[in-house]
Amino acid sequence: MKPMAPAAPPQRHTPPDLLHQIGDTPLLELTRIAADLPAAVTLYAKAEHLNPGGSVKDRPALAMIQDGLRTGTFGAGQTLIDATSGNTGIAYAMIGAALGRPVTLALPANASDERKRILRAYGADLILTNPMDGTDGAQRRVKALVKAEPDRYFYPDQYSNDANWRAHYEGTGHEILDQTDGRITHFVAGLGTTGTFMGVTRRLKAFDDNIRCISMQPATSLHGLEGLKHMPTAMVPRIYDAALADDTLSSTTETAHAMTRRLAREEGLLVGPSAGANVATALRVARTLDAGCVVTVLCDTGTRYLSEAFWDDED
């Protein structure tokens, strides 16, 4: 008689960690905002505010960090450094904490207290730069520190890093095709680093070149819309290719704010003003159609903007 095979070891279930919660966000249909559209036109929003760091930037931050770890540019003992008080900074700080890796962020000293407190809560070290020099001053400080001690730092530089748009090619764009069963006809997204628009558009066009991809920018240079760039007057990111867009539309700050209020009050979606600008622009596109499936992005959570006065304005 053959000896009995030893019992298989009990299957150990590995609980998913925080970083596995990034991406795979729901695609929500905006029924009330779209109530006056023809029945054959649907409007959807990718709920990126539901990422664990509260924004779409969790995806590229994780992708750039993983790319750095894989290629060795983010070596053991090195500190991640960048100049951002925005969502990318929050994502770096959160992911750095989860991986046990130090994060240093340079930002103008007049960045909101709330932002500084979130970054410090995740354990990031902050370098506060002269408010008169704006975010450019913070960027110059980071570049000087990296130049002085290149071995000490990992500097992802989201504006030039291909892992930024690739996170949206492999993640966001792929998920949108899946979640719409390939029925998407139009995609609308605002431009910041441009990673979201570049990555999703490339993925959608690879699937079907007839899908119309429309980029959105603030209407003026002094727009106050966190995360968005007015390209004619901004430093243009290296990863940006304007030729990819089928069309470019603009949104005023007032339109963005009004839609941000509507999203909260009519759809129960507390999101930030760039999401409002995206949805307002997507609705404009949807109104030109007799039939179609329009998809846009809810970039971040509205809890980050509660002290802004626009919530109290009347429509």
Nearer to ligand PLP, 78 or 87 (CB): 87
Nearer to ligand PLP, 157 or 300 (CB): 300
Distance, CA of 297 to CA of 311 (rounded, Å): 20
Q: Do the beta carbons of residue 275 and residue 49 sit within 8 Å?
A: yes
Burial zone of 12 (CB within 10 Å; 0-12 exposed, 13-18 middle, 19+ buried) = exposed
Distance, CA of 295 to CA of 176 (rounded, Å): 8
Q: Which stretches of the chain are assigned E, i.e. beta strand?
A: 27-29, 41-47, 79-82, 103-108, 125-129, 153-154, 186-190, 212-218, 247-251, 292-298
Other beta carbons less than 10 A from residue 149's beta carbon = 11
Q: CB 159 → ligand PLP: shortest distance, Å? A: 9
Sites of contact with ligand PLP (CB under 6 A):
55, 57, 86-88, 190-197, 226-228, 272, 274, 299-300
Q: CB 20 → ligand PLP: shortest distance, Å? A: 21
Nearest position to ligand PLP, beta carbon: 227
Nearer to ligand PLP, 41 or 225 (CB): 225
Distance, CA of 234 to CA of 9 (rounded, Å): 59
Closest to 266 in 3D by CA, of 8, 76, 28: 28
Place of tokens 């404009």: 284
Q: CB 154 → ligand PLP: shortest distance, Å? A: 19
Q: CB 225 → ligand PLP: shortest distance, Å? A: 8
274 part of the active site: yes
Q: Active-site residue among 57, 215, 229, 251?
A: 57
Q: Active-site residue among 55, 215, 251, 274?
A: 274
Q: CB 304 → ligand PLP: shortest distance, Å? A: 8
Nearer to ligand PLP, 78 or 278 (CB): 278
Nearer to ligand PLP, 68 or 86 (CB): 86
Catalytic positions are 57, 274
